[in-house]
Structure 1
Amino acid sequence: MNGPVIHDAWTLPVDDNINPYAFSVDLNGQWFLQKGKMVAYYGQIDFQGVGLGHLDHLIAHSFHSPLHAADWVVAEGHGKMVLADRAFDVNSYDLDDGNLSIRSGNLLAFQPSLSLKQSIVPGFLTLIGTGKFVAASNGPVVFMEPPIRVDPQALVGWADCPTPCHHYDHEYLRGFLGAVRSRTGIGGASGEEHQFEFVGAGTVLLQSTEEVVDEISVGETGGTGS
């Protein structure tokens, strides 16, 4: 009978998945890391908040999202980091002189060769440049080509294409649901009546569910505990 696979610092993969829900970063220098996404590490690694002392030059080059600064740290040193997020699917992606916007709750970590900026779409961040990043999704990611309309809750991000527009089904809104909304304020969140519309060249990333990977407050684990 085969037992579980037991890893150590030498058998963990190099910048690759351990399983569908955990990713191993081979750290030799610095990575940006969202707080709460590192579950274990081997080696000599320090974690420092964004904006501290000797990291000023790195922050000035790579981190331009003040609204999210408190949620991120810089992992610095040498070793292996294991990243995971509440048993969501985790994968790495490579940008080659690219431009990708991603829901802030989905982004786990990225190399400093990429520059992080605040997207004009609320709740999203934009990565620009060349490098690797790690992201979570609620189910496997599906890659789609515009023109396309997508449910906002299924949207993970978009790469190398224009910012989406809001699209509303006005006939649907004028019907029964519109009447309910006007009286109670309930309804209006489904993709059947409101979508993001993408046009032009590029790639749209969708997760295979409408349940969003929510951001959690710093220090929370997402579980109830005992």
Structure 2
Amino acid sequence: MPTLTAEKRVLHVDLQGETIRAAQGSMVAYTGKVDFKHAGMGGGGGLKAALKQRVAGESIALMECTGAGRVTLAQDALDVTLVDLPGDTLQVESESILAVTDGLRLDVRFTGLRGMTTGQGLATTTVTGHGQVALLSDGPLIGLEVGPGVPLVVDPDAYVASRGQLQMNLVSGVSWKTFVGEGSGEPFSLRFEGQGVVFIQPAER
């Protein structure tokens, strides 16, 4: 498995013959002998994933980096955070994925409410398996715990990812944006219940 090191706004990937998938255009430097190629339809998730992404409007374009050397990745000077997946599933906005290690599967899960929030379609990208995911965020990524009987409500524009046994619901009505004059259309927020972690960024899209 390649060695990933997050350093503020860059990700260093040390390869010894392995392959890693990264957002297209995110390579800013590399040393050694490394080959880059398009990861194929669905970002390596296959034709089925690609078709679901097209229907959902949840797009992600990945490239494969294979060889021996160090690849440095970055995108729009956004903060980079590594998340370890020990066989569970991470739900994440596709635009927040910088890189995933080999062995992780990307797919699309229909939630039935995302189109009413960020306008990115009624779906979210899922990353499942054993490995590491490098996430992008506008500012340091913040992990908020959700426990039984203690629901969490977040601004959909600040939402980045979530993991665990969580139920996500749309809450309509009065929101904090209404009071600061930023509301447009029907106000809403995202409510999470169950057991898990919700990752947010300290800035809005």
Q: Which interval holds the TM-score relative to the shorter structure?
A: 0.7 to 0.9
- Structure 1: 4+ residue segments shifted above 2 A: 58-61, 63-70, 121-124, 170-173
**% same residue:** 27
Deviation string, structure 1 residues 98-134 (Cα, Å, up to 9, x no partner):
1111111110110121111113145431111110111
Task: Tell me the number of residue pairs that the alignment of Structure 1 and Structure 2 aligns.
Answer: 180
- Counterpart for residue 106 of structure 1: 96
Structure 1 gap ranges (5+): 1-13, 53-57, 178-185, 213-226
CA spacing shift, 1:84–1:51, aligned 2, 3 Å = closer
- Counterpart for residue 117 of structure 2: none
TM (norm. structure 1) is: 0.70
Structure 2 residue 130 is matched with structure 1 residue 130? yes
Report if aligned partners of 1:50, 1:73 keep a CA contact under 8 Å in 2.
Answer: yes
Structure 2 residue 202 is matched with structure 1 residue 205? no
Greater Cα radius of gyration, structure 1 or 2? 1
What is the alpha-carbon distance in structure 2 between the residues aligned to residue 167 and residue 145 of structure 1? Answer: 19
CA spacing shift, 1:171–1:144, aligned 2, 3 Å = closer
Report if aligned partners of 2:60, 2:94 keep a CA contact under 8 Å in 1.
Answer: no
Find the partner of 2:37 among 32, 35, 48. 48
Range with greater deviation from structure 2 (119-128 or 22-31): 119-128
CA spacing shift, 1:171–1:31, aligned 2, 3 Å = closer
Find the partner of 1:35 among 24, 32, 41. 24
What is the alpha-carbon distance in structure 2 between the residues aligned to residue 86 and residue 69 of structure 1? Answer: 18
Q: Which has the higher strand share?
A: 2
Deviation string, structure 1 residues 175-210 (Cα, Å, up to 9, x no partner):
999xxxxxxxx8137xxx311110001110011112
Find the partner of 2:14 among 11, 16, 26. 26
Structure 2 gap ranges (5+): 115-119
